[in-house]
Amino acid sequence: MTQKFTQQNTFYTEDHEWVTVHGDLATCGITRYAADQLGDVVFVEVPEVGKVFKKGDDMAVVESVKAASDVYAPMSGEVIDANGKLGDAPETVNEHPETEGWFCVIRFSDGAETKGLMDKDAYYEFCKGH
Amino acid sequence: MADQASENLRKTPLYDVHVEHGGKLVPFAGYEMPVQFEGVMAEHLWTRQHAGLFDVSHMGPCFLFLKEGLGGPGAHEKISALLEQIVPSDIAALKPGQGRLTVLLNEEGGILDDLIVTRMPDDDLQGMLYIVVNGAVKAEDWALMREKLSDQCMLQTADDRILVALQGPEAAAVIEPHFPEAGELKFMRCAHVQKDGERFMVTRSGYTGEDGFELLLPNNETGLGIVKALLADDRVKPIGLGARDSLRLEAGLCLYGHDMDPSRTLVEADLQWVIQKSRRARADFPGAAKITDQLTNGAAEKRVGIRPLERAPAREGTEIHVDGVKVGVVTSGGFGPSVEGPVAMGYIRADLTEPGTKIDLMVRGKARAGEVAALPFVEPNYKR
């Protein structure tokens, strides 16, 4: 596997999570579209390091002023890092959802799972339909 | 199914105004209502600092009046005696133009709804009460009134009109040029004002903890014109239901169906102040035996304010634990933009109601530290 941080390595789910694959690791978060829909984020519950998720499991929770929303694991794997900055600065998710507002890094167990996800162009088309 | 449901939703007379201002519309109490415009946080803070305009036309304004003897001697006492059969407040004691919060009771003393009852200010309309009930239960409330209040009075519903609330510290300055009479009103007083040959109600009230007014306007060009004139003021922004909820929660005000329901009495809801001394003495309201007993001996649970001590909000339904035992439940909870942290209300065992009492809030199965807090979270700004 090659280590690259390019758009080609970023995938999107229909639930508005993004995941950037680098080696056997993947960084995930929620998309700009999702962050805008949620409005002012006031709390993020990121997963604990060591937790193991199957693709589609409840992985994190984003609380906006009004409601709590589940965030699902975009790929199966084990959490090896979580974004502690969101604890004190949950608004980072509104400001920079697809960069500084990342939620966690997972060591994924099945790279083929990205085949079921959308690339950037497909995701933008998907959002237009909503 | 979803499409069918949305087709059955009613629109308020201000629907087009909401769309024009970019409101995000959602189903609420059978209506398509704006949940937010520019964002809940910004709208909440704007209302606390300036003035926010809320469309509350989905609620249940109505007039209850005597069939005979309107404006005659003893008319107010007669209509009050009828309404007092189903509410525990002293309606007879209201002065002309004065309003009061009260509750509709079932036979067990449970709360069927909360409502504001106002005595009309006009001499010729004594024997008429202006009542606003909650939108979600207005049909049930009105059916109850028609069933219980004998054939001596009539109920005229007014939910086909425009009902708006202008709330915030700048509300009075905004409204005064339009209605000088309104600016002189004190909290919970009303004026019956006239414009373009139309007569309508202005009450100094609201449900945000801020100074403000509610206007019941005709559903025509005059009414719409007044709303548009208010919105054209730089100090006013349209505000959605999201901020309405966070404002009233910070103000410690109960929301029917959440902090009050038919299974809770007004003593449990900490609303015993709605019963005046005279009514306690008479004990002639529905569920009086139970309520009197709770007033004397206390209730098993009480509504309190709750402060989560961590950043995670405790939403409605969150269990409250002490030493691993369930002692209560959150009935309203979220983030308070003015408090800059999570706030909640809920019911808790009577021996744990002291502010500062440490509790665990079971947010998504995990115990998070919290404490019982004094209400309101934000001091009200009413014009007394």
Chain segment A3-35, per-residue pLDDT in tens: 445 557 999 999 999 999 999 999 999 999 999
pLDDT, one tens digit per residue, over B54-69 is: 999 999 999 999 999 9
Residues in chain B closer than 8 A to A89 (CB atoms)? none
User: Which of B24, B40, B45 is the best substitution to test chain A (most A C-beta atoms within 10 A)?
Assistant: B40
Give mean pLDDT, residues A36-58. Answer: 95
Q: What is the structure's pLDDT at B150?
A: 82
pLDDT mean over B265-277: 96
Strand partners, B99: B118
Taking residues A108-114, what's their average pLDDT? 94
For the cut 90, the answer to whether the pLDDT of residue A1 exceeds it is no
- Give residues with Cβ within 8 angstroms of B257, minimum separation 6: B134, B136, B137
State yes or no: pLDDT of B144 exceeds 80.
yes
- The gap from C-alpha A129 to its chain's centroid, in whole angstroms, comes to 21
pLDDT band at A67 (very low <50, low <70, confident <90, very high): confident
Q: What are phi and psi of A77, to 5 degrees?
A: 160, -170
Of the candidates A54, A49, A46, the residue with the CA atom closest to the CA atom of residue A81:
A49
Judged by CB atoms closer than 8 Å, whether chains meet at A65 and B246 is answered as yes
Indicate the pLDDT class of residue B384, thresholds 50, 70 and 90: confident
**Predicted confidence (pLDDT) at residue B187 exceeds the cutoff of 70:** yes
Tell which of A36, A41, A42 to mutate to test the B interface (max B CBs under 10 Å): A42
* Nearest CA distance, A77 vs chain B (angstrom): 22
Task: Tell me if residue B352 falls in helix, strand or coil.
Answer: helix
> ipTM of this predicted complex?
0.82
Beta strands in chain A (DSSP E): 10-12, 17-22, 25-30, 41-45, 52-53, 58-64, 68-72, 77-82, 104-108
| Residue B367 Cα, gap to closest chain A Cα (Å) | 14
Closest partner residue to B334 among A45, A65, A87, by Cβ? A65
Identity of the residue in B242, B311, B312 whose CB atom sits nearest the CB atom of A65? B242
* Spatial CB neighbours of B215, under 8 Å, sequence gap ≥ 6: B162, B163, B164, B165, B166, B200, B201, B202, B226
CA-based radius of gyration for chain B: 21
| Angle at the Cα of B221 from the Cα atoms of B215 and B222, rounded to 5 degrees | 45
pLDDT, one tens digit per residue, over B314-343 is 999 999 999 999 999 999 999 999 999 999
Least confident span in A66-70, B48-52, B89-93, B298-302:
A66-70
Q: Mean pLDDT throughout B241-268?
A: 96
Which residue among B40, B312, B364 sits closest to A65, beta carbon to beta carbon?
B40
List residues of B whose CB lies inside 8 A of any A CB: 35-36, 39-41, 44, 242, 245-246, 311-313, 315, 334-335, 337, 342, 364
Task: Indicate the average pLDDT of chain B.
Answer: 95
Closest CB from B39, B311, B313 relative to A39 = B39
Return the pLDDT at B8. Answer: 87
A39/B312 CB distance under 8 A = no
pLDDT of B160 above 80: yes
